[in-house]
């Protein structure tokens, strides 16, 4: 892949030298003599990297950098890495440069090998970050944008660009999975994603909300005739692909319903217009599916109850036909049991009849009905006592909704029942329609709530895995800056997590410190590669540059509001227990506990890994260093845990391989 670099310098000789060095090494170069020339260029082209001189007449490098960021935001571009060029040797300017977000700092006159290596390192790192970004924003199955990336993009686009926003839903897709299996369903989804991209313009945005729901924004479709042609093409070609994948005569009325709204790029809010497109989609569904509807402002909004019922209906319609409700009825009156069984069975509900609370306790240990109808007044063990014993002896039964049956009309009794966790109260003698309706309503609502809870749990776990993947990838990119380390951040994370586990951290706390460990060195992004990879001793100035990385890392991670403690490990992992560390000179318990753990893990990995100035230290030597550092460099408690881990590591496996 040929890289594309833009160079800005008012010195024509410097432009020629840099251009000559890079083009000889297969890098495409665009050169400019001023900041305004570069800014005009960026409105039409996007280089992989910008080399930007700091001292230029008219518009200096810092002002140009601010303008670059404004253009990136305006055009919704990924941030382009910038390397500052300067002939000055000023630490304050260099520090300010990194605070402004530059990727590196190169002094003139250029040393060809140094210039090329630094640019190559930045480009490689940028390639990795782009790849990580794509992985984080892409739906794994279809290759389209995933839900979060789609929302992020469209929030900006809907406010600025005219076009059609469309909610797109595949009709009868559930039957494909049920009849032909999920592999066939996945093939249909992949084929459908290809069709959507093919019938939209190259700059249009399309993503998958989840399941068989998609959202697209198109400025390529100019009018309603284009929209109709788009819907017709999707429906026609989806059916052709389905015949190819599932075989002719599959009998499934597969198609596409579309709800669209015309946007004018006048500050429309994404969530608002998406809701309107969803209303138009619902109209398409009601009008026979396989087509489109265009939202009109005079459409009546659905009430909250209507939305909830539609959501319930859509979810419950996806159940398999043979997945009937199962109700256990508990009553000491045989006539009531027979009556309730007859009423519910006529409504296609499976019924198990039980004549006492004791029998229910035995029954529930091996069975899990969707709902229990429990008589309140029974001999030996009444409904209240039965419910209390049920939850005490079979805790998982708390997930089964209970509806009490009674012939009494006592508010106090009803309050007690509801306080014990009952979902409803049905009075005897039964009115068939009310019994059936209340049973279905309670059971279906419980199923819906459980379904939604499962979905939330599933998405939470998916997001956690995605976060770990992205963070691990970023940690790998940070480690790649150092020629002499391989997997340093991931090992520090593993050691930190194990120390935390032995110290008594719970699972979530262990996960949190693992992520802190992965990102503890993120601030090295702001340290020049030449300093990190210097084979000899560092000068005082170079060491000061290294010492800035905890602060840089802290500033980066503080922006992640979802994990407010994430910056702790980055900022304070170089503090010492005796107060002689950096950057803040904290001591003892002033240092956050997570940072004290990471400090031990970081030091251990540094000693058990190869460095430019030495090979891997022996276990005995490492042990001696940690023992000597107790109370001075390390928290004694966490140093002891690290020593216990070393003692268990007989074969010295805890080290760089």
**pLDDT digits 0-9 by tens, 247-303:** 887 778 899 999 999 998 888 888 889 989 988 998 898 888 889 999 875 444 444
Measured CA to CA, the distance from residue 473 to residue 476 in angstroms comes to 5
pLDDT tier at 612, thresholds 50, 70, 90 = low
DSSP of 239-271, one letter per residue? HHHHHHHH-TT-----EEEEEEEEEESSS--HH
Measured CA to CA, the distance from residue 109 to residue 443 in angstroms comes to 77
Q: Does the pLDDT at position 323 exceed 70?
A: no
**pLDDT digits 0-9 by tens, 196-212:** 999 999 889 999 988 88
Which residues lie across from 4 on neighbouring strands?
A: 28
Lowest mean per-residue pLDDT among 207-216, 308-317, 530-539, 575-584: 308-317
Helix (H) or strand (E) holding 320: none
DSSP of 142-176, one letter per residue? TSSB-HHHHHHHHHHHHHH-EEEEEEEEEETHHHH
Greater confidence (338 vs 319) lies with: 338
Average pLDDT, integer, range 486-491: 83
Q: Does the pLDDT at position 105 exceed 60?
A: yes
* Torsion region of 417: left, alpha or beta (phi above 0 gives left; psi -120 to 50 gives alpha): alpha
Lowest mean per-residue pLDDT among 306-320, 541-555, 643-657: 306-320
**507 in Cβ contact with 514 (< 8 Å):** no
Measured CA to CA, the distance from residue 1 to residue 120 in angstroms comes to 13
pLDDT tier at 545, thresholds 50, 70, 90 = confident
Tokens for 322?
């043979």
Choose from 93-97, 534-538, 581-585 the range with maximum mean pLDDT. 581-585
* pLDDT at residue 465 in the model: 61
Greater confidence (348 vs 78) lies with: 348
* pLDDT at residue 316 in the model: 44
pLDDT tier at 304, thresholds 50, 70, 90 = very low
Choose from 171-185, 237-251, 638-652 the range with maximum mean pLDDT. 638-652
List Cβ neighbours of 67 (8 Å cut-off, separation of 6 or more): 35, 39, 59
Number of C-alpha atoms within 13 angstroms, CB side, residue 527?
Answer: 27
Lowest mean per-residue pLDDT among 191-200, 411-420, 597-606: 411-420
* pLDDT at residue 312 in the model: 44
Instruction: State percent of the chain over pLDDT 70.
Output: 86
The strands making up 49-53's β-sheet, listed across from edge to edge, are: 28-32, 4-8, 49-53, 82-86, 104-107
Q: What is the mean pLDDT of the chain?
A: 84
* pLDDT at residue 454 in the model: 66
Average pLDDT, integer, range 623-651: 95
Q: Does the pLDDT at position 584 exceed 90?
A: yes
* pLDDT at residue 73 in the model: 81
Measured CA to CA, the distance from residue 649 to residue 325 in angstroms comes to 55
pLDDT tier at 410, thresholds 50, 70, 90 = low
pLDDT tier at 322, thresholds 50, 70, 90 = very low
Helix (H) or strand (E) holding 85: strand 82-86
**97 in Cβ contact with 66 (< 8 Å):** no
Measured CA to CA, the distance from residue 110 to residue 385 in angstroms comes to 86
DSSP state of 299: P
**466 in Cβ contact with 136 (< 8 Å):** yes
User: pTM for this one?
Assistant: 0.40
Cα Dmax for the chain: 103
Q: Does the pLDDT at position 360 exceed 50?
A: yes
Q: Is 540 helix (H, G, I), strand (E, B) or coil?
A: helix
Say which residue the tokens 């839903």 belong to.
169
Say which residue the tokens 């890392």 belong to.
553
* pLDDT at residue 466 in the model: 56
DSSP of 87-135, one letter per residue? S---HHHHHHHHHTT-SEEEESSP-HHHHHHHHHHHHHHHHHHHHHHHH
> In Å, how far are 154, 246, 461 from 142, measured between CA atoms?
19, 18, 20
List Cβ neighbours of 399 (8 Å cut-off, separation of 6 or more): 450
DSSP of 47-78, one letter per residue? -SEEEEES--SSS-HHHHHHHHHHHHHHTTPP
List Cβ neighbours of 236 (8 Å cut-off, separation of 6 or more): none
DSSP state of 583: S
List Cβ neighbours of 204 (8 Å cut-off, separation of 6 or more): 163, 216, 217, 218, 219, 220
* pLDDT at residue 318 in the model: 44
Q: Does the pLDDT at position 319 exceed 50?
A: no
Please tell me whether the peptide bond between 583 and the residue prior to it is cis, using omega within 30 degrees of 0.
yes
Q: At what angle do helices 357-364 and 383-393 cross, to 10 degrees?
A: 20
Tokens for 120?
């190559």
**First-to-final CA distance of the chain:** 31
* pLDDT at residue 301 in the model: 42
Number of C-alpha atoms within 13 angstroms, CB side, residue 513?
Answer: 27
Which residues lie across from 486 on neighbouring strands?
A: none
* pLDDT at residue 409 in the model: 65
* pLDDT at residue 300 in the model: 40
Tokens for 220?
């390529």
Q: Does the pLDDT at position 400 exceed 80?
A: yes
- Give me the helices (H) in 318-431, please: 334-346, 357-364, 383-393, 411-419
> In Å, how far are 2, 108, 224, 534 from 116, measured between CA atoms?
14, 13, 53, 16
Lowest mean per-residue pLDDT among 22-31, 42-51, 140-149: 140-149
**pLDDT digits 0-9 by tens, 558-575:** 877 667 788 899 999 999
pLDDT tier at 531, thresholds 50, 70, 90 = confident
Which residues lie across from 31 on neighbouring strands?
A: 7
* pLDDT at residue 102 in the model: 85
Average pLDDT, integer, range 40-44: 91
Classify burial at 78, counting beta carbons within 10 Å of its beta carbon; exposed 0-12, middle 13-18, buried 19 or more: exposed
**pLDDT digits 0-9 by tens, 139-181:** 888 889 888 788 878 887 888 889 999 999 998 888 888 788 8
List Cβ neighbours of 644 (8 Å cut-off, separation of 6 or more): 502
**291 in Cβ contact with 258 (< 8 Å):** yes
**Strand spans (E) along 441-591:** none
Q: Does the pLDDT at position 315 exceed 60?
A: no
């Amino acid at each position: 892949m040929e890289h594309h670099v833009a160079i800005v310098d008012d010195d024509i000789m410097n432009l020629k030298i840099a251009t000559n060095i890079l083009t000889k090494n297969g890098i495409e170069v665009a050169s400019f003599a001023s900041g305004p020339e570069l800014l005009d260029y960026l409105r039409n082209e996007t280089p992989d990297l910008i080399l930007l001189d700091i001292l230029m007449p008219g518009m200096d490098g810092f002002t140009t950098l601010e303008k670059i960021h404004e253009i990136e935001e305006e055009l919704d571009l990924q941030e382009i890495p910038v390397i500052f060029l300067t002939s000055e040797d000023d630490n304050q300017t260099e520090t300010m440069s990194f605070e402004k977000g530059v990727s590196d700092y190169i002094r003139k006159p250029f040393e060809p090998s140094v210039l090329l290596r630094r640019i190559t390192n930045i480009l490689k790192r940028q390639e990795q970050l782009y790849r990580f970004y794509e992985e984080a924003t892409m739906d794994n199955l279809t290759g389209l944008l995933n839900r979060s990336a789609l929302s992020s993009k469209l929030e900006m686009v809907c406010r600025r660009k005219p076009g059609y926003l469309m909610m797109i839903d595949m009709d009868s897709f559930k039957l494909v999975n049920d009849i032909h299996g999920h592999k066939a369903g996945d093939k249909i989804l992949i084929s459908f994603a290809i069709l959507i991209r093919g019938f939209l313009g190259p700059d249009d945005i399309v993503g998958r909300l989840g399941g068989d729901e998609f959202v697209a924004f198109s400025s390529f479709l100019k009018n309603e005739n284009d929209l109709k042609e788009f819907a017709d093409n999707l429906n026609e070609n989806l059916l052709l692909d389905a015949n190819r994948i599932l075989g002719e005569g599959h009998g499934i009325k597969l198609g596409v319903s579309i709800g669209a709204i015309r946007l004018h790029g006048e500050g429309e809010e994404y969530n608002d217009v998406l809701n309107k497109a969803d209303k138009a989609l619902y109209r398409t569904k009601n009008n026979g599916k396989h087509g489109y509807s265009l939202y009109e402002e005079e459409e009546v909004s659905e009430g909250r109850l209507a939305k909830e019922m539609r959501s319930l209906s859509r979810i419950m319609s996806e159940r398999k036909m043979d997945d009937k409700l199962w109700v256990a009825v508990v009553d000491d009156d045989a006539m009531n049991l027979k009556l309730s069984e007859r009423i519910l069975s006529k409504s296609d509900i499976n019924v198990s009849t039980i004549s006492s609370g004791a029998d229910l306790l035995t029954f529930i240990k091996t069975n899990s009905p969707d709902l229990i109808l429990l008589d309140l007044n029974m001999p030996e063990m009444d409904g209240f006592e039965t419910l209390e014993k049920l939850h005490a002896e079979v805790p998982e039964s708390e997930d089964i909704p209970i509806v009490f049956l009674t012939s009494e009309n006592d508010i106090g009794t009803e309050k007690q029942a509801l306080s014990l966790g009952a979902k409803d109260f049905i009075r005897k003698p039964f009115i068939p329609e009310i019994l059936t309706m209340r049973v279905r309503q309670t059971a279906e609502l419980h199923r819906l709530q459980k379904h939604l809870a499962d979905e939330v749990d599933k998405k939470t776990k998916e997001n956690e895995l995605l976060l770990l993947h992205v963070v691990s990838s970023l940690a790998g990119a940070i480690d790649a800056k150092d020629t002499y380390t391989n997997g340093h951040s991931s090992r520090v994370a593993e050691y930190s997590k194990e120390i935390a586990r032995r110290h008594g951290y719970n699972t979530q706390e262990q996960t949190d410190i693992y992520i802190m460990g992965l990102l503890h060195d993120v601030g090295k992004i702001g340290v020049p590669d030449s300093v990190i990879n210097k084979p000899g001793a560092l000068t005082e100035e170079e060491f000061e540059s290294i010492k800035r990385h905890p602060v840089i890392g802290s500033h980066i991670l503080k922006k992640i509001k979802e994990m407010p403690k994430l910056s702790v490990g980055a900022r304070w992992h170089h503090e010492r227990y005796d107060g002689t560390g950096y950057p803040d000179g904290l001591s003892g318990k002033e240092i956050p506990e997570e940072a004290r753990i990471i400090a031990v893990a970081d030091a251990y990995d540094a000693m058990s890994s190869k460095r430019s100035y030495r090979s891997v230290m022996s276990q005995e030597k490492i042990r001696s260093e940690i023992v000597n550092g107790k109370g001075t460099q390390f928290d004694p408690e966490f140093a002891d845990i690290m020593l216990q881990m070393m003692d268990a590591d007989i074969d010295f496996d805890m080290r760089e391989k």
